[in-house]
Structure 1
Amino acid sequence: MATETLTTDEARTAGPSPRPDPTRPDPTRFARRELLVLVVLCAAQFMVALDFSILNVALPTIGTDLAMSPSTLQWAITAFALPSGGFLLLLGRTGDLFGRRRLFLGGLALFGAASLVATLAPTPTVFLVGRALQGVGAAAIVPTAMALLTTTFEEGPRRARALGVAGTLLSLGFTVGMVLGGVLTDTLGWRSTMAILAVATVVVLPLARLFLHESRHEGPNRPRLDVPGAVTVTGGLLAVIYALSTAAAHGFGHPDVLVALGVGAALLVAFVVVESRTRQPLVSLPLLRRRTVAWGNLGGLVTFSMMSTVVFVLTLYLQDVLGLDAFRTGLVFGVQGVLSVAAGVVAPRFVGRFGAPRTLVGALVGQGLFVAGLLTLGTGSGSVWLAVAGVSVASACHLGAIISYGVTATSGVADHQQGLVTGLVTTTQQVGITVGIPLLGVLATTAPSLERGVHLVLALDAAIVLVAAVVVGLGLRVWQPAGVRGAEAAAATA
């Protein structure tokens, strides 16, 4: 019965929705409680997104103040990225079983306390401990927030709109962090970049306690936590993320990188073996084989990894080639953020009109084409405006891909599996943000000239996105007529 429901829902996401009846109430309109829940969940995810980028500009100042060497300074970022990506699947499933609201509140409290520790840190060790605990808190917040969102908003126009708002604020948080980090560091010092997160938690936590209702898997058949699966997948993700983060600073030939990649690969293979044999797996392999889950997450991985790479190399280009200071560079990405907000408003309408899979493929094509347009960047002053236009429109397409891949990958999944599937979605986000820069960004800094390196990275970036658009489109069968897809789904359920 469960398979029949999932397959039918999968068919529904494959094609466009019918046009709404103008005489009926707006199906995307939120009830008052739904709006309050959305505000709380988006505020928490905005804080986490802010934390990903707010320290980037402040790193040199932190190194001077805490006497951290360049080789250890990268851990200011890695210490957060490791647990925030590595524990997502485990904590997403834990929320399914023991209460998403409870885990969300606990993650918020830990995130706020850790931010205070990082703010007041007198030594590098204390600072890095604070950053690592922030990462654990983020790993609890992100999947439970998305699971609470998808169980609050039923599948359809309202969920698409809610995911659109969440995706917009996620992208905006990353962009605002880059601008706000520079302003705060220059005016109040680097510690204010951590203090603002602690203050924000004090505001959001009581609101979350007031407005969120508990959500968990209920009933006599509630599964147990798959401990072997949890150990292998968490260890594998931690090892892979550590390897990719270290490769960004030391290259893929570094012994630590090679060892970590080997350990990570072995643990992830062991995880697949464990999940195929356990009666109550942490990750249902049949769920991973679902077309919408597999291809939707691939699209998400590509859009996140390649767009984070574009932002990284353009930051180098604007400052080191065109000579912009940090403030004006921040303004360039501020324009990007504004256009992303607009895209977040429009993208759910495209999802409703054309279907999430087709919107995902179209958004990937747009992202790839506008990144390719950045290959015309030169050294003249006019290149600044080309950079603003190109990265802004590419980012708008990127946001459309974020929203549509989230809708694609979570559609048709029962409420008791929402923590799992949203854990997969958010793991895709975190790994994507982590993987792009070490894989491609390092080419910009090792090329004969930075300008040539930036052009090489942008060309590879655009090619990967465009190829992925074709592959994801074929996997989701977006070019088949809706009637054919519906017939296939009906045959599968028979």
Structure 2
Amino acid sequence: MTDTTPDTESSSPGAGQHLGWALVLICVAQLMVVLDGTIANIAIPFISTDLEIDEANRTWIVTGYALAFGGLLLLGGRLGDLYGRRRLFMTGLILFAVASGLGGLATNEAMLIGSRALQGAGAAMAAPAALALITTTFPAGPSRNRAFAVYAAMSGVGAAVGLILGGWLTGLDPELGWRLTFLINTPIGLAAALLAPRFLAESEPHPGEMDVPGAITATLGLLGVVYGITRAGEDGWGDTWTIASLGSGLVLLVAFGVIESRVAHPLLPFRVFLNRTRASSFVAMFLAPAAMFAMFYFLSQYIQLVMGYSPLHAGVAFLPFCFGIMAAAAIGSNLINHVDPRFLAGVGTLMAAGGLFGFSRLPYDDTFPLGHTEASYWTDLLPFILVMSFGMGMTFIPLTLTAVHHLRTEDSGIGSGVLNTMQQVGGALGLSILATVFTTVLNNRQDDVAAAGASGTNPGDPAAIASQLFTEGATHAFLVGALMMLAASVIVWVFLDVKHAELATDGPEGVHVG
């Protein structure tokens, strides 16, 4: 039997240093995986021009990554349980690094989008393994709580860092900068993979227990659902391919559920969901990222389109979010040792809902002729960016802990895979719903503008019209996002009943927690 207890947990003088380096490796991997979802966003216009990618296919620069990442997460989590989490962590990082290099050297559209899909596949291997490795590397109690806090902070900071880094690299050289957004991952990813055996212990493998029918139906089902949700955000929920993709994805997931109830070694053991605290953590983590992604998506465009910020300045505008979530992580990692997760996550979700409600109050002119009205960054944006960052930090830390707490050792990878899947699919679904709200408001107001013009009423300057309509649509989306976060808060307050003292213990999974 392979020894699953790492040297880093020993009482030797270098143990603390080894734990520190282990956490650095895990968090570097998580940061790369998360920031890659947004780092290319600001560079999309330059990529499209350089590689001659038309408007219809531009979204695949982002969607190709999200689709592979979200669709393969469950499979990646289970492969780590079966064949060794460190091995999958290293394999995922190497694949991610190589794919990033291919993207940076891409000479045509197919090569770039193919590399983005490969990046997503690598991320789907590395992300669940990274979270599971924290559980198996750090002893229960303050040490593990701090590690989870830093990991959770990386999950929240990554998207903002991606915007900042993408804006900076693109600004260095419009022709070369977009390539650097990919190439920067290659040396970092390879170095982290090579150092992993030195600081991370391998888990016990269970080869021969692979549920092939479950793997096929789960992967294809998730791909169908993620693609359908993503397409809905672009082409609407009534689009033929949206309906077909969602329908086939759901049918395959139902088939997956039937298969899992009958096989000896299921890809996704249903016992993972039998714990009420864990199940409620999964649901809350399905809703919370949806609202956070909406903030980045709409606010980054608002800052550029309405306020006129450059890409780099738009990225820097989110820098306070990074500081806020890191501060919340430091505070939360100490409080979780003395305060029950329900109170931390409950207050965090309420704060995040308040931040989103603040964004829903951005000023705009809704009377004809439409004038140019914009918010002040210092009074209308910054306070709510900080409130949102503290709220998300206080939310991610306890929910990450409770989602994987008391999992069986052999289920750590799949439990982490489920948590990551909830975040990715929830974010995609939430963003699609909010994009639909935004588009509906925008279309209705455009009809009003057209009617005003036809009746001889001056609707206003075209630039002012565009900025005010965008703001009105975005504020409605932010309001719906706030309601999503409130729903997550209700789930936390009602169902998350584990006590903080229990998080300091390890042991076999029990159905009752608290």
TM value normalised by structure 1: 0.87
In the alignment, is the contact (CA less than 8 A) between 2:89 and 2:193 conserved in 1? no
User: Does residue 436 of the first structure (1) align with residue 419 of the second (2)?
Assistant: no
Equivalent of 1:152 in 134, 137, 146: 137
Q: Is the partner of 1:277 in helix, strand or coil?
A: coil
Equivalent of 1:78 in 63, 69, 75: 63
User: Does residue 402 of the first structure (1) align with residue 390 of the second (2)?
Assistant: no
Cα distance between partner residues in 2 of 1:209 and 1:478: 34
Judged with a 3 Å threshold, the aligned counterparts in structure 2 of structure 1 residues 30 and 245 are, in CA distance, closer, same or farther, namely farther
User: Does residue 472 of the first structure (1) align with residue 482 of the second (2)?
Assistant: no
Equivalent of 2:473 in 441, 450, 453: 453
Determine the structure 1 residue equivalent to 2:345: 360
Residue by residue over 1:447-472, the C-alpha shift from the partner in whole angstroms, topping out at 9 and shown as x without a partner, is: 22212111111111111211221133
Determine the structure 1 residue equivalent to 2:238: 253
Determine the structure 2 residue equivalent to 1:125: 110
User: Does residue 462 of the first structure (1) align with residue 482 of the second (2)?
Assistant: yes
Deviation, 1:310, is 1.6
Amino acid at match of 2:204: R
Equivalent of 2:204 in 216, 220, 235: 216
Greater mean alpha carbon deviation, residues 467-476 or residues 131-140:
467-476
Deviation, 1:289, is 2.4
Deviation, 1:491, is 11
Equivalent of 2:360 in 375, 394, 409: 375
Amino acid at match of 1:181: G
Deviation, 1:432, is 2.6
Cα distance between partner residues in 1 of 2:484 and 2:91: 39
Amino acid at match of 2:473: G
Residue by residue over 1:100-139, the C-alpha shift from the partner in whole angstroms, topping out at 9 and shown as x without a partner, is: 1111111111111111111111111111111111111101
Q: Is the partner of 1:353 in helix, strand or coil?
A: coil
Deviation, 1:54, is 0.5
Amino acid at match of 2:267: L
- The correspondence of residues 239-388 of structure 1 with structure 2, limited to 5 A, is 239-378=224-363, 379-388=373-382
- The correspondence of residues 20-169 of structure 1 with structure 2, limited to 5 A, is 31-169=16-154
Deviation, 1:478, is 7.6
Residue by residue over 1:44-100, the C-alpha shift from the partner in whole angstroms, topping out at 9 and shown as x without a partner, is: 111111211100000111111111111111111111111111111111111111111
Determine the structure 1 residue equivalent to 2:195: 207
Cα distance between partner residues in 2 of 1:255 and 1:83: 22
Deviation, 1:167, is 1.2
Determine the structure 2 residue equivalent to 1:196: 184
User: Does residue 177 of the first structure (1) align with residue 171 of the second (2)?
Assistant: no
Cα distance between partner residues in 2 of 1:242 and 1:362: 33
Amino acid at match of 2:143: R
Cα distance between partner residues in 2 of 1:477 and 1:170: 24
Q: Is the partner of 2:336 in helix, strand or coil?
A: helix
Amino acid at match of 1:88: L
Deviation, 1:442, is 3.6
Residue by residue over 1:205-242, the C-alpha shift from the partner in whole angstroms, topping out at 9 and shown as x without a partner, is: 22223222211356xxx771111111111111111111
Judged with a 3 Å threshold, the aligned counterparts in structure 2 of structure 1 residues 183 and 492 are, in CA distance, closer, same or farther, namely closer
Q: Which has the higher helix share?
A: 1
Q: Is the partner of 1:346 in helix, strand or coil?
A: helix
Identity of aligned residues (%): 34
Instruction: List gaps (5 residues or longer) in structure 1.
Output: 1-28, 483-488
Deviation, 1:438, is 1.2
Cα distance between partner residues in 1 of 2:325 and 2:192: 24
Judged with a 3 Å threshold, the aligned counterparts in structure 2 of structure 1 residues 71 and 30 are, in CA distance, closer, same or farther, namely farther
Residue by residue over 1:373-432, the C-alpha shift from the partner in whole angstroms, topping out at 9 and shown as x without a partner, is: 223322345355321110221122112211111101111112221111111111122223
Residue by residue over 1:265-287, the C-alpha shift from the partner in whole angstroms, topping out at 9 and shown as x without a partner, is: 11111111111122221112132
Amino acid at match of 1:241: V
In the alignment, is the contact (CA less than 8 A) between 1:318 and 1:384 conserved in 2? no
Instruction: List gaps (5 residues or longer) in structure 2.
Output: 1-13, 364-372, 446-468, 503-508
Determine the structure 2 residue equivalent to 1:6: none
TM value normalised by structure 2: 0.84
Which structure has more RCO (C-alpha within 8 Å, separation ≥ 6)? Answer: 1
Determine the structure 1 residue equivalent to 2:5: none
Cα distance between partner residues in 2 of 1:383 and 1:205: 41
Judged with a 3 Å threshold, the aligned counterparts in structure 2 of structure 1 residues 216 and 42 are, in CA distance, closer, same or farther, namely same
Cα distance between partner residues in 1 of 2:37 and 2:187: 17
